[in-house]
Structure 1
Amino acid sequence: MRLLVTGGRTGYLGRHVVRVAAAARHDVLAVGSADADVRDRAAVDALVERLRPDALVHTAYVQADPEVTATGSAHVAAAAAAHGARMVLVSSDVVFGGADQPYPETAPTDPVSPYGEAKVVAERAVLAACPAAVVARTSLILGDSDSPHERLVRSLAAGADGGLFEDERRCPVHVVDLAEALVELAGNDVRGVLHVAGADGMSRYELGRLIARRDGLDPETLRPTSRVALAVPGPVDVRLDSTLAAQVLSTRLRGAREFL
């Protein structure tokens, strides 16, 4: 399979997708912002026309820039459709606003942040342009010791100011598990929305304690805080139900209690 990965040069997830695909002996094309600005539709179309991938995994986004996240995804999807490439969009649990039970794929989106709103726009644009595309919603991505969350935990354990939310619950996923799932999705015929998150729902604080123990640090140095009490914008409980992914994928999505 000739696979194009946006964000594959410098993105945290994208780099792992490239490695997994290369190890599986696919012809991998890693691209970044230097190759084409996703906000420029003509540039994206020209890139895809030149590279002619069989499939495209779109991992690139900028959380603070809705135009990159939403409009950029629409441009990538339009190019994929025009040139016959299968489209896999990486989306997020922040398309939801928070509930007291895990979200299935059929749950209506109700984002409470600009980033979540941009991801909803991206999802709709991709599915409209590429009806056979798959939108892979995921959660906190970590596991290789170099993720932003793992670096944050080590900093806090070393005495940096701040804490970890004990009221924000998500389903952390190992970056390699997710990358393998995305490469698998690029090569199969699953379509529509699919939740591709880890098996365990937990708070950021519990996750931090697991990371600390794995790294030989004292988890008691970590301080719990509250997103609600601090009035930090964003959803609280956005656990994803990934039961369907377990049925349609051969890749196993481990829970953080296992991989940490």
Structure 2
Amino acid sequence: MGTVLVVGASGFLGAEVCRRAVADGWRVVGTYHSAAVRVAGVEARRLDVTDRTAVRALVTGVLPDAVIGTPYRYADWAVTADGAAHVAYAAAEVGARLVHLSSDALHAGRDTPYLDDEPPSPVFPYGAAKAAAETAVRAIDPAAVLVRTSLILGEGSKQIQLCRDALAGRATLFTDERRCPVDVTDLAAAVLELVPSDHAGPLNVAGPDAVSRAELGLLVARREGIDPAGMKTATGAAHGVLRPTEVRLDSTRAAALLRTRLRGVRELLAR
């Protein structure tokens, strides 16, 4: 199968990509910054993606066939934007196939779904960082695939934990933010399936169901048998939160391109 380098292997998605890649027979090298990589069979390497020289040294040392870029830090431009550019430069230098993980956060939000090729329209800093990362990656490596995804679910997901916290009255779920959540195992399978493909440019890879964060909380409550009466909800507008409201990704192209079936959140959280 060759060698795949997973940048950000200690993260929620990165770890799942590593697990699946190991099971598929890849030699897997995974990077981390502070939290350790806890996936058996992965060659763990510490990396600061903001250090361009270090990124280049690691990639040229590993000589991967493919690089999967999953690193981000919500409020850190250097990691999310600059780090993505450093990874893209290094991957292009060794001729590795690059799969870059992007986000629906780069859209402004509207009442109609976003298609794959629509240009970014960020309205808050994290979305701007993800948009800048995409711009850099496309300029450096036009053959790279940019996976635009949404809220990532699964056991250990911070999205599920946020719902549990809201059900316990420790957090608030917004009723005016709608997304298309995707299961981490489905997303990891799709990412690895894209490695040998010739798809280039943006590709929406998200679930088919659009739900608000508050609706997601109710689905978690039903699955786990929790009384939702105490769940705290509000609107982002009332809390002064500057984030996109309704961002629905149309993943029709991915559904036709991939063997992986992207399950909807209602199926994922069915009792």
TM-score by length of 2: 0.92
CA–CA distance in structure 2, aligned partners of residues 90 and 164 of structure 1: 25
Shift of 1:151: 1.2
- Quick one: which amino acid aligns to residue 127 of structure 1? R
Aligned match of 1:117: 128
Match for residue 159 of structure 2? 149
Structure 1 pair 224/158, CA: closer, same or farther in 2 (3 Å)? Answer: closer
Unaligned runs of at least 5 residues, structure 2: 35-45
Gaps of 5+ in 1: none
User: Counterpart of 1:91?
Assistant: 102
Measured in 2, the distance between the counterparts of 1:159 and 1:127 equals 43
Tell me whether 1:217 sits opposite 2:226 in the alignment: yes
How many residues were matched structurally?
A: 257
Q: Does 1:255 align with 2:255?
A: no
Residue 43 of structure 1 is matched in structure 2 by: 54
Per-residue deviation, 1:229: 2.3
**2:6–2:14: 8 Å Cα contact kept in structure 1?**
yes
Residue equivalent to 2:17: 17
Q: Say if 2:168 and 2:231, in contact at 8 Å, map to a contact too.
A: no
* Partner of residue 105, structure 1: 116
Match of 2:41 in 1: none
Equivalents in 2 of 1:125, 1:149: separation in Å? 28
Report 1:150-165 matches (<5 A): 150-160=160-170, 162-165=171-174
SS at match of 2:241: coil
Bigger CA drift: 183-192 or 64-73?
183-192
Deviation at 1:106? Answer: 2.5
For 2:208, what is the secondary structure of its paired residue? coil
Identity of aligned residues (%): 52
Deviations 1:172-217 (A, max 9, x none): 0001100111111122211110000111011000011111111221
Q: CA shift at 1:221, angstroms?
A: 2.4
Per the alignment, in what secondary structure is the counterpart of residue 183 of structure 1?
Answer: helix
Task: Tell me the C-alpha RMSD between the 2 structures.
Answer: 1.1
TM-score, length of structure 1 as denominator length: 0.96
Q: Does 1:32 align with 2:32?
A: yes
Partner SS, residue 88 of structure 1: strand
- For residue 196 of structure 1, the aligned residue among 196, 199, 205 is 205
CA distance in 2, matches of 1:240, 1:200: 10
